[in-house]
Amino acid sequence: KNQVEQSPQSLIILEGKNCTLQCNYTVSPFSNLRWYKQDTGRGPVSLTIMTFSENTKSNGRYTATLDADTKQSSLHITASQLSDSASYICVVGAPQGFKTIFGAGTRLFVKA
Amino acid sequence: DAEITQSPRHKITETGRQVTLACHQTWNHNNMFWYRQDLGHGLRLIHYSYGVQDTNKGEVSDGYSVSRSNTEDLPLTLESAASSQTSVYFCASSDHRQGMNTEAFFGQGTRLTVV
């Protein structure tokens, strides 16, 4: 069964600290992996998109990595800000037909 | 600026009633999607459309229907609302099939409560 699992479920960090969120998937075959940020009460917004041939992709203080061999991805947030408090969702796309599998998300709380 | 909007933002309805949630996008995207988001679950696909007059069932389509009469709109209808359909609903659009490497843009969501 195609699955996307994220860890941890939630995380609390102090402002200015770095953190890393994990995503493991069993989707196969695989065409792309995306990370979205979802603020409370809003729709998800895309942070990064990576194909199976890409190892890393950055968007400002957000850096996503991908290991297609081990089917793992991570999202690293540098020098966290209060505005980083949100849910971060890992999404895996498959090439055939229409298949996009969403992880349940990691809820990040950044405290002053 | 192009955008995707959902209405209403909040809706309370009674069990058994028919409810329609609106989704309108000005991106001129071919593809539109409806998802539901429940606590502890990832977004789950309800229905999707690759273009005018095209509709397809997603993984949780029972009790829902959609129609695509133009590029801009994909309304979602709950035929006979049930308490299990209490959820937050998101509409999204994209330029190509989501199996390809393009970004999907999401609406703000509609919180539906069935009592």
- DSSP state letters, B49-104: EEETTEEEE-TT-TTEEE--SSSSB--EEESS--GGG-EEEEEEEESS-TTSS---
Q: Is B101 on the interface with A (CB under 8 A)?
A: yes
Are the Cβ atoms of A43 and B107 closer than 8 angstroms? yes
Phi and psi torsions of A83, nearest 5°: -70, -10
Phi and psi torsions of A31, nearest 5°: -115, -35
In A, which residues are within 8 Å of B99 by CB distance? 31, 93-100
Closest approach of A18 to chain B, Cα-based (Å): 25
In A, which residues are within 8 Å of B109 by CB distance? 41-43
Are the Cβ atoms of A43 and B109 closer than 8 angstroms? yes
CA A78 to CA B6: how far, in whole Å?
A: 33
- Residue B97: band (very low, low, confident or very high) from pLDDT cuts 50, 70, 90: low
Strands B105-106, B76-78: pairing is unpaired
Q: What is the pLDDT of residue B95?
A: 79
CA B59 to CA B41: how far, in whole Å?
A: 13
Q: What is the pLDDT of residue A84?
A: 97
Closest Cα to residue A5, out of A81, A89, A79?
A89
Q: Is B88 on the interface with A (CB under 8 A)?
A: no
A38 torsion bin: left (phi>0), alpha (psi -120 to 50), beta (else): beta
Closest approach of A100 to chain B, Cα-based (Å): 7
Digit-coded pLDDT (tens) for B54-64? 999 988 999 99
Contact between B78 and B19 (Cβ < 8 Å): yes
Instruction: Tell me the mean pLDDT in the region B94-108.
Output: 73
Q: What is the pLDDT of residue B101?
A: 56
Q: What is the pLDDT of residue B99?
A: 47
Closest approach of A79 to chain B, Cα-based (Å): 26
CA B45 to CA B73: how far, in whole Å?
A: 17
Digit-coded pLDDT (tens) for B70-95? 999 999 999 999 999 999 999 999 87
Q: What is the pLDDT of residue B34?
A: 95
In B, which residues are within 8 Å of A104 by CB distance? 40-42
Residue numbers in chain A where pLDDT is lower than 50: none
Q: What is the pLDDT of residue B59?
A: 87
Q: What is the pLDDT of residue A93?
A: 83
Q: What percent of chain B has pLDDT over 70?
A: 94
Q: Is B89 on the interface with A (CB under 8 A)?
A: no
Closest approach of B104 to chain A, Cα-based (Å): 8
Nearest to B42 among A46, A51, A103 (CB): A103
Nearest to B97 among A42, A44, A98 (CB): A98
Contact between A33 and A26 (Cβ < 8 Å): no
Beta-ladder partners of B98: none
Q: What is the pLDDT of residue B96?
A: 65
Structure tokens at A27: 């989707």
CA A8 to CA A10: how far, in whole Å?
A: 5
Q: What is the pLDDT of residue A79?
A: 98
Instruction: Tell me the mean pLDDT in the region B16-22.
Output: 98
Calculate the average pLDDT of chain B: 91
